[in-house]
Amino acid sequence: MTLREKILALFESSKGQYFSGEEIGKALNVSRAGVWKAVKALQQEGYPIDAVPNKGYCLSRDTDILSCQGVQKYLRHDVLRVQVQDKVNSTNQAVKALAQEKAPEGTAVIANCQEAGKGRYGRSFYSPHGSGIYLSLLLRPRDWSPESSLGLTTMAAVAVCRAIEAVSGEHPQVKWVNDIYLHGKKVCGILTEGAFSMENGMLEYGIVGIGVNVYAPAEGFPPELESIAGPVFSETFPDGKNRLAAEILNQLMDCYQNPDPLGHLQPYRDYSLVLGKAVEVISSTGREPATALAIDEHFRLVVRYSDGREAALSQGEVSVLPAKE
């Protein structure tokens, strides 16, 4: 770690506590001038570090700035290897590049902003600076077929819901298959990608990409998203970004390491926003009203159309229709 990173780790471990330049210098075997220079660099990056004469330096308890040190202190799984970057083109693309360089399972990239974030079907994913967390995790499952990919997406959905519950106390829901809603607004999107072996057709690696609206953007959501998107927190939540990012990764690994591949099936059903409701099935051929009946053991959404036909959907998407009065 650099001196700046070491000092930040010290502050993160003892938020609200003052350390003199001399104390930090002795602990890290560096001069007071070196400490001052590193602290100034952190302040310029936006960290609210107080500097009080005859008292020292202190990182505010109420700060909520995403950092590698801040995330790491909440992680429970040793397999997780986290990188935090201020800005990336796309966290999925960043992890894909690492995967192709043989990065180990558990490698994760988290960013404050994506310049070219993407969602399902090649859509752009709104990823403004400072208000969200955008992360991607590399997994290298054994014996996973292409049909298992829906299980990976639904696993991520359960992990995000559990993480939001654990950190905020709120109860989110999943709109099949991969959108997380809270108080009627979308707060998170999930995109899973992977590479398959040409030899056996099995999954070589999977990338779980997750974007969360932690707060509303300072300038507000764009007009086209105003009625759709919402934040997890309505006001600053101390260490909210670090805690939420870490808990999402923790919950993902909890689900992934469960020896029962259907271990998250019932939780996924329990979090469902659509079961029992009138929905509109959206596919490449158009839109058709239906009723969402169940989620089967393959995580497919079972629907009944108005003419009585039933179908188990493994792709496409649905929107929830307004309740009839």
CATH code, domain with 124 = 3.30.930.10
Mark whether 111 and 211 lie in a shared domain: yes
261 domain residue, yes or no: yes
Question: Band of the pLDDT at 121, cuts 50, 70, 90?
Answer: low
Is residue 251 domain-shared with residue 159, that is, in the same domain?
yes
Q: What is the pLDDT of residues 239-281, one digit of tens each?
A: 999 999 999 999 999 999 998 989 999 999 999 999 999 999 9
Q: Does residue 44 sit in the same domain as residue 80? A: no
The number of domains in the chain is 3
Could you tell me if 42 and 140 lie in one domain? no
Same domain, 178 and 244: yes
Q: Determine, yes or no, domain membership for 325.
A: no
- Measured distance CA(88)–CA(80) in Å, rounded: 20
pLDDT 10s digits, 157-189? 999 999 999 999 999 999 999 999 999 999 999
Q: Which residues are annotated as a binding site for biotin?
A: 90-92, 114, 186
Residues 262 and 282 in one domain: no
Across 66-105, b (16+ Cβ under 10 Å) vs e yields bbbbbbbebbeeeebbbbbeeebebbbbbbbebbeeebeb
Binding-site positions read: 90-92, 114, 186
Q: What does pTM read for this prediction?
A: 0.88
Give the ranges where the chain is alpha helix by DSSP (H): 3-13, 21-28, 32-44, 68-72, 91-100, 149-168, 240-256, 265-270
CATH number at residue 43: 1.10.10.10
Q: For residue 207, what are the domain limits?
A: 68-270
